Structure formats: structure tokens, C-alpha cells
Structure 1
């Protein structure tokens, strides 16, 4: 994905429930169909972020481990 088409939201160091709460707040500012990359070190994020996407209707495009955390690529619902 080209750099111009993505927003990296660094939430490393935050603990549950902050990664989901901050992601939800940021998603409200994005245009429908926009992509956001959320990076977190919270071990519960691998449960919480997919659940958040499912609840709010966003598409979890990708989920992958990275270093000491996890990276999620989320597409805002149209």
C-alpha cells in the first residue's frame, strides 16, 4: 500500500481499553473507505481490535505480529 494512502496510528505503550477507545475516536475523523494502520503493544488488542471492527462494521484487512506488539490494517466502513 503506498505511503500516501495510509495513516499509521501509533498506540504502542497503551493498555486496554485505550487502544480501542483511541482507534474508535480516530476512525470518526476518517472518510468512508479510508485505511488506518494501528500499531499496539497491548496483548489484549489481538482480541479487542477485531471485536471493535466487527461491532462498528469496519473491515479488518490485515492483522500481523510485529516486534513486541501487533499491527492492524483497518478499512473504515463505507
Structure 2
């Protein structure tokens, strides 16, 4: 199953927009629930981006360490 977070975010934002025109108890609760779900998706994406960025930095650092390591005499 693919993680289609972009589509989920679009649908959640659309649902929040639709519910923002309503002002009853049920609509307010549903809007709050959708906003919580949206914030969870955002935080999940931010964490995964940060992990990917850190992995790339580590990989670059490893490559540079290998490239510029002290030379060995034969």
C-alpha cells in the first residue's frame, strides 16, 4: 500500500474548508478531528524529510572521509 500523503492532505484540507462554513457541534468536532489528522501527516512528513536529509549528510561525510583519508605508504 502506497503512502499517498499528498492526496490525503488535499482531501483533509477540503473537508476542513467544507466544515468551516458549518457552525454546529458535530461540524466543529469533525473539523477538529480533521485538523488533528492533518497535523499528524505534516509532522510525519517533516520527520521523514529530516531523516532523509540526515542520511544524505552522513553519506556525503562518509564519502569525503574516504576520499581525503590519510594516504598509506606501500
More helix by share: 2
Same fold (TM over 0.5): no
The higher-RCO structure (CA 8 Å, 6+ apart) is: 1
More strand by share: 1
